[in-house]
């Protein structure tokens, strides 16, 4: 037991150290808290009861979000205890879909800074800005430039809600200690005219940096992170497609970096396909995939599926021919002009097709995967076509937040006569149909990145590789049991997320060690080591009560 470095009111105002009404009588005397708190001492369980009572009186999800952020700002341990014990209820508030609404209004609900804002005005001194962070040992940074926040577009500095929410899930779901987590927004301006006119906008009032100026700024940031927090995991989040792909290609072999929108989405979707195959009786090599959307997320999924198919014995060209893409211009084909390099492997020889339903009837896919960011594009005609060409079509409407999803669960089941194996990117309720109850789960990156992050931080991995992502996907797929599949779900319920994250962390850590990427020598008992590494939200005892 060690006394905290702060005393009195300063201690109560530090969310990392504050226990609120849980300070014991002895601690109140020793730490100058007598009289600064009401006299009754509460347990953390009693504090949690009070939090949930207040939380459930809020009349909107945005109010619930603000309430939880305020709790995080005053009592971090209690905040994480609340998340861990009520994760299924809390995740849609702390992260998608409510975080999208929170980001859109971030300057209007701003209470207290959390994370680091590194702006274009900080060129030449980014390392100095990083040193302003009070924690000297950062293990993982989630960084965004705010240009493509969920499906909402350019929110500039308002995008800070995404790294904050993502890192809360690293801790709540994966057990990564909050002191190791740093949210970062790279404020390079915004091209959103509404934000530039917003009197409460919190970011730089300028257009976005582009070209060499942008690249030089990010180069300086990456070098500064290695200087100040050497070996830290850097997760790129919600960058626009061109930058997302370009930054991942530039840094994936030079730093411990990955892009969750590309690689995390890919691992979660591959896991969903593997589990769906247990329902449909199809092997991955039997699947024929059609993507609606051909951006970074679609090509990231396609690339990882290609790797998995090659591992299963297919040649690269044969694997890629099983994957087709449909975007705003119709079916992606080789004859189309000016196809970006990252799409070319999936631009096959074929006559153009303008309508999605026609593409489905022509190509006869077994799985339809939506990553378009546009709502309602899985129309009745498209889903009826899927039911016509496959006895058990997989239908994944992965765009989020909920307002951007390609179809609802109810539409997917109704328009395929209940034969779809459905999953979505955002939460959806159960569906009653013809005497059967479907309770689909989310294909959400939160099933992947917390466990991946725990493994990387605990082993001090030097890189994030495709083999690690494949291991994460396979470990997640292994967590589905038969009762779960019978309910229409593909992944375990969120109240098991820490158990799932541990299984993923073990699988990823095994690859890290086997491939010689560990920056430390982990013990032979990896599972016990990782389990012991997981943060548990329990108030510390600063001073034992007298016996």
Tokens of 301: 């999924």
95 is catalytic: yes
| Catalytic residue from among 95, 170, 201, 542 | 95
Rounded percentage of the chain residues whose pLDDT exceeds 70: 99
For residue 226, pLDDT over 50 is answered with: yes
Instruction: Quote the CA–CA distance of 161 and 163 in Å, as a whole number.
Output: 6
**How much is the pLDDT for 16?**
95
Instruction: Quote the CA–CA distance of 234 and 221 in Å, as a whole number.
Output: 11
6 is catalytic: no
**pTM, two decimal places:** 0.95
- Which residues, including other chains, have CB under 8 Å from residue 447's CB and lie 6 or more apart? 268, 271, 476, 491, 497, 500, 501, 504
Give the model's confidence band at 545: pLDDT under 50 very low, under 70 low, under 90 confident, else very high: low
Long-range residue pairs from 441-445, CB within 8 A, at least 24 positions apart, any chain? 441/489, 441/490, 441/491, 441/492, 441/493, 442/491, 443/268, 443/269, 443/271, 443/272, 443/396, 443/398, 443/490, 443/491, 444/96, 444/268, 445/260, 445/261, 445/264, 445/265, 445/267, 445/268
Scanning 35-185, the segments in alpha helix (DSSP H) are 44-55, 61-74, 76-85, 87-94, 98-104, 126-130, 161-174
**How much is the pLDDT for 547?**
45
Report the chain's C-alpha Rg in angstroms.
Answer: 24
Task: For strands 436-438 and 257-259, give the pairing.
Answer: unpaired
Mean pLDDT over 309-326 rounds to 96
C-alpha dihedral, 91 to 297 to 155 to 55, nearest 10°: 0
Mean pLDDT over 456-484 rounds to 96
| Catalytic residue from among 55, 158, 166, 170 | 166
For residue 544, pLDDT over 80 is answered with: no
**How much is the pLDDT for 1?**
62
348: Cα separation from own chain's centroid? 31
Mean pLDDT over 461-479 rounds to 98
Instruction: Quote the CA–CA distance of 474 and 271 in Å, as a whole number.
Output: 6
All domains of the chain, ordered by start, with CATH? 8-92 (1.20.1370.30), 93-255 (3.40.50.10380), 263-446 (3.40.50.720)
φ, ψ of residue 442 to 5 degrees: the values are: -85, 140
CB-based burial label for 12 (10 Å; 0-12, 13-18, 19+): buried
């Amino acid at each position: 037991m060690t006394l905290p470095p702060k005393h009195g009111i300063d201690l109560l105002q530090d969310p990392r150290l504050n226990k609120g009404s849980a300070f014991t009588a002895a601690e109140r005397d020793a730490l100058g808290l007598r009289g600064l708190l009401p006299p009754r001492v509460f347990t953390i369980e009693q504090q949690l009861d009070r939090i949930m009572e207040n939380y459930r009186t809020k009349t909107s999800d945005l109010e619930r979000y603000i309430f939880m952020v305020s709790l995080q700002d005053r009592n971090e341990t209690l905040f994480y205890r609340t998340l861990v014990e009520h994760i299924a209820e809390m995740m849609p508030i702390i992260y998608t879909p409510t975080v999208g609404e929170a980001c859109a209004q971030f300057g209007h609900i701003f209470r207290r800074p959390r994370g680091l804002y590194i702006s274009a005005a900080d060129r030449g001194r980014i390392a100095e800005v990083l040193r302003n962070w009070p924690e000297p040992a950062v293990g993982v940074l989630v960084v965004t430039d705010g240009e493509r926040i969920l499906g909402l577009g350019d929110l500039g500095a308002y995008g800070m809600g995404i790294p904050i929410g993502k890192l809360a899930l690293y801790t709540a779901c994966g057990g990564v200690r909050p002191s190791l987590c740093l949210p970062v927004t790279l404020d390079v301006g915004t091209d959103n005219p509404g934000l530039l006119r917003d009197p409460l906008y919190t970011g730089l009032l300028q257009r976005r940096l582009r070209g060499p100026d942008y690249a030089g700024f990010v180069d300086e940031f990456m070098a500064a992170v290695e200087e100040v927090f050497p070996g830290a995991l850097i997760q790129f989040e919600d960058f626009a497609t061109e930058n997302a792909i370009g930054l991942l290609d530039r840094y994936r072999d030079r730093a411990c970096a990955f892009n969750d929108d590309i690689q995390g989405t890919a691992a979660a979707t591959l896991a969903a396909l593997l589990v769906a195959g247990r329902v449909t009786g199809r092997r991955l090599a039997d699947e024929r995939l059609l993507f609606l959307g051909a951006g970074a997320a679609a090509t990231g999924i396609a690339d990882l599926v290609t790797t998995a198919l090659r591992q299963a014995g297919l040649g690269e060209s044969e694997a890629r021919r099983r994957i087709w893409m449909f975007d705003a211009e119709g079916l992606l084909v080789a004859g189309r002009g000016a196809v970006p390099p990252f799409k070319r492997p999936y631009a096959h020889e074929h006559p153009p097709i303008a309508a999605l339903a026609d593409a489905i009837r022509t190509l006869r896919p077994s799985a339809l995967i939506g990553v378009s960011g546009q709502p309602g594009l899985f129309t009745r005609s498209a889903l009826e076509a899927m039911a016509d060409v496959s006895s058990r079509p997989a239908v994944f409407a992965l765009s989020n937040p909920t307002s951007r999803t390609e179809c609802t669960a109810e539409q997917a089941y109704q328009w395929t006569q209940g034969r779809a194996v459905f999953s979505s990117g955002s939460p959806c309720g159960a569906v009653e149909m013809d005497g059967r109850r479907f309770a689909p789960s989310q294909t959400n990156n939160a099933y992947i990145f917390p466990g991946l992050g725990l493994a990387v931080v605990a082993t001090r991995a030097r890189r994030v590789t495709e083999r690690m992502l494949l291991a994460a996907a396979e470990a997640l797929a292994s967590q589905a049991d038969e009762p779960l599949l019978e309910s229409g779900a593909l992944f375990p319920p969120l109240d098991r997320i820490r158990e799932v994250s541990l299984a993923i962390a073990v699988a990823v850590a095994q690859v890290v060690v086997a491939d010689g990427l560990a920056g430390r020598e982990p013990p032979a008992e990896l599972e016990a080591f990782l389990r012991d590494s997981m943060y548990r939200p329990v108030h510390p005892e600063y001073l034992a009560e007298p016996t």
